[in-house]
Amino acid sequence: MKFFQVHETREVIRLIEETYASLERTEEVSLYQAFGRVLAEDIHAAEDVPGFDRSTVDGYAVRAQDTFGASDSMPSFLDLTGSIEMGKEAGSIAPAKAKYIPTGGMMPEGADAVVMVEHAEEVGSLLNVYKQAAPGENVIRKGEDLQEGQLVLRRGHRLEPQDLGVLAAVGVSRVKVFAKPIVGILSTGDEIVPPETKHLKPGEIRDINTVTLGAALQSMGAEVIYGGTVKDEFGEYLQRAQDLFEKVDLLIMSGGSSVGTRDYTVQVMEALGEPGVLVHGISIKPGKPTILAKAGRKPVIGLPGHPVSALVVFDLIVRRIVNRLFDRTSHPFDPRIRARLSRNLASAPGRSDYVRVRLEKRDGEVWAVPVFGKSGLISTLAGSHGVVEIPAPNEGLLQGEWVNVNCFVWERGIVSEEEDLSGGYAAQRGPEETSGCC
């Protein structure tokens, strides 16, 4: 029997980085299919961007020196020799000549600056220039944006809309990305029945974690295999876990991780393969009974059965494991909301507490109102907008203090002053309840 001790969050995060390996499966996709995928290769610019000198304004392509000294009272007089058309070769201009050029148009050979339309006047085939242009003015030079061969995006980067634009610009139309990680979810517990069960027998409750964790994994670009529910019977549990384990890159089991007579999760995890259980218990609340294991090169995770705890641990721990599979070395910024805390929150030193909060606007400020509820209340989950962390070395937070709220937001959106802050959830809990948090 191994000896397990409860781990600190930071220790667990370090262990995730050090212990689990990234996926070996990759695939090639077009830019139309690449959103949200994670690069499996560094990307270098295939060519200079722009590929030619371009005008940044509507104006007249000129040799700058032909305009030196030009002013309102003493214009330069140039010959206007035509217009440059978008997407067409631009030809050239000789000294003292000019061509009309639209924004984005290609600079003609011999020209090195653009005079804006408002600083010039066409008089028949003559152009009066009323302001001198410096060499390079209103021009982007070939390769000024990105140079051929330049490193543009790194392996492990999740492709956002703007990145796809950069890839299109540099002439990369297909990219090598990590295969979507396949994640299996198995829910355990004698009382747990599938969510689609119409009529519950006494004592039964529907499986919640399968759908919440499954959706959270989908939001990260994983493919989910729903393993369903299994009773606390070792033989059956092991068989079902082994079957699912064979098909996935990461196996998540929820429930059965509290200390109890029917806790087979550790045994099942150990039976799946070496090295077995690595972490048994993390010093966070909720979420303490979390188990991390590794069987062969695959991570196997045991999450608390309680839906609130499972989702908080997903956010804090499982998210990092999935990112590890992608070799994601960088992360988007955490879209935290700054809010003022509506009441004092106590915490046990040495443990990080995560308290669910609802966000409310009061006098133009955003306040974080702790949503308390007895351990089993599901409604508090959707009724809250996110969690506030009380870090381990801290002894609590004070009323009125500015805190960061880690929002349960899986896609970004914009909220304006006028908009409703309550979310779509109608069953708001009443005044702060006094029973303990999850």
Question: CA distances (Å), 354 to each of 38, 334, 386, 411, in order?
Answer: 30, 16, 9, 21
Of residues 67-126, which lie at the interface with a copy of itself (CB under 8 A)? 85-90, 102-106
Q: List the alpha helices (DSSP H) in 339-423.
A: 379-383
CB of 297 to a copy of itself, least distance (A): 24
Q: Is the peptide bond before 195 cis (omega within 30 degrees of 0)?
A: no
Question: CA distances (Å), 237 to each of 186, 195, 204, 249, 265, in order?
Answer: 9, 19, 18, 19, 8
Of residues 324-353, which lie at the interface with a copy of itself (CB under 8 A)? 329-338
150 binds a copy of itself (CB under 8 A): yes
DSSP 13: H
52 binds a copy of itself (CB under 8 A): yes
Which member of 132, 254, 290, 323 binds a copy of itself (CB under 8 A)? 323
Which member of 214, 228, 273, 276 binds a copy of itself (CB under 8 A)? 214
Which member of 21, 126, 134, 205 binds a copy of itself (CB under 8 A)? 205
Whichever of 160 and 236 has its CB closer to a copy of itself, that residue is: 160
Q: Which two tokens stand for residue 122?
A: 């066409």
169 binds a copy of itself (CB under 8 A): yes
Whichever of 121 and 296 has its CB closer to a copy of itself, that residue is: 121
Which member of 41, 223, 270, 315 binds a copy of itself (CB under 8 A)? 315
CB of 108 to a copy of itself, least distance (A): 10
Q: At a CB cut-off of 8 Å and minimum separation 6, what does 340 contact?
A: 365, 366, 367, 368, 400, 401, 402, 403
Of residues 290-309, which lie at the interface with a copy of itself (CB under 8 A)? 305, 307
CB of 51 to a copy of itself, least distance (A): 5
Length of the chain: 438
CB of 129 to a copy of itself, least distance (A): 21
166 binds a copy of itself (CB under 8 A): yes
How many chain residues interact with a copy of itself (CB under 8 A)? Answer: 136
232 binds a copy of itself (CB under 8 A): yes
Which member of 123, 200, 348, 398 binds a copy of itself (CB under 8 A)? 200
**What are the DSSP E strand ranges found in 168-222?**
174-178, 182-188, 192-193, 205-206
CB of 276 to a copy of itself, least distance (A): 26
Of residues 4-43, which lie at the interface with a copy of itself (CB under 8 A)? 13, 30-32, 34-36, 39, 42
Q: Assess contact for 109 and 90: CB atoms under 8 A.
A: yes
Q: Is the peptide bond before 289 cis (omega within 30 degrees of 0)?
A: no
Whichever of 266 and 272 has its CB closer to a copy of itself, that residue is: 266
The residue range among 256-264, 269-277, 291-299, 340-348 that interacts with a copy of itself, by the rule CB under 8 A, is: 256-264
Of residues 274-293, which lie at the interface with a copy of itself (CB under 8 A)? none
The residue range among 20-28, 69-77, 201-209, 393-401 that interacts with a copy of itself, by the rule CB under 8 A, is: 201-209
Which member of 26, 56, 65, 92 binds a copy of itself (CB under 8 A)? 56
Whichever of 295 and 372 has its CB closer to a copy of itself, that residue is: 372
CB of 333 to a copy of itself, least distance (A): 5
Whichever of 61 and 272 has its CB closer to a copy of itself, that residue is: 61
* Among 322, 192, 186, 293, CA closest to 247: 186
Residue type at 95 in one-letter notation: P
Q: At a CB cut-off of 8 Å and minimum separation 6, what does 406 contact?
A: 315, 334, 336, 386, 387, 388, 389
233 binds a copy of itself (CB under 8 A): no
* Among 409, 433, 410, CA closest to 421: 409
CB of 274 to a copy of itself, least distance (A): 30
CB of 9 to a copy of itself, least distance (A): 10
Residue with tokens 């196997």: 300
The residue range among 73-81, 215-223, 236-244, 343-351 that interacts with a copy of itself, by the rule CB under 8 A, is: 215-223
Q: Which residues pair with 388 in a beta bridge?
A: 355, 405
Element holding 247 (H helix, E strand): helix 234-247
Helix axes 234-247, 265-272, angle to 10 degrees: 40
Three-state DSSP at 27 gives: strand
Q: List the alpha helices (DSSP H) in 258-366.
A: 265-272, 307-313, 319-325
Distance CA 20, CA 282 (A): 18
Q: What are phi and psi of 300, to 5 degrees?
A: -130, 125
Q: How do 174-178 and 76-83 pair as beta strands?
A: unpaired
Of residues 375-434, which lie at the interface with a copy of itself (CB under 8 A)? 375-379, 381-382, 385, 406-416, 419-427
The residue range among 73-81, 176-184, 217-225, 273-281 that interacts with a copy of itself, by the rule CB under 8 A, is: 217-225
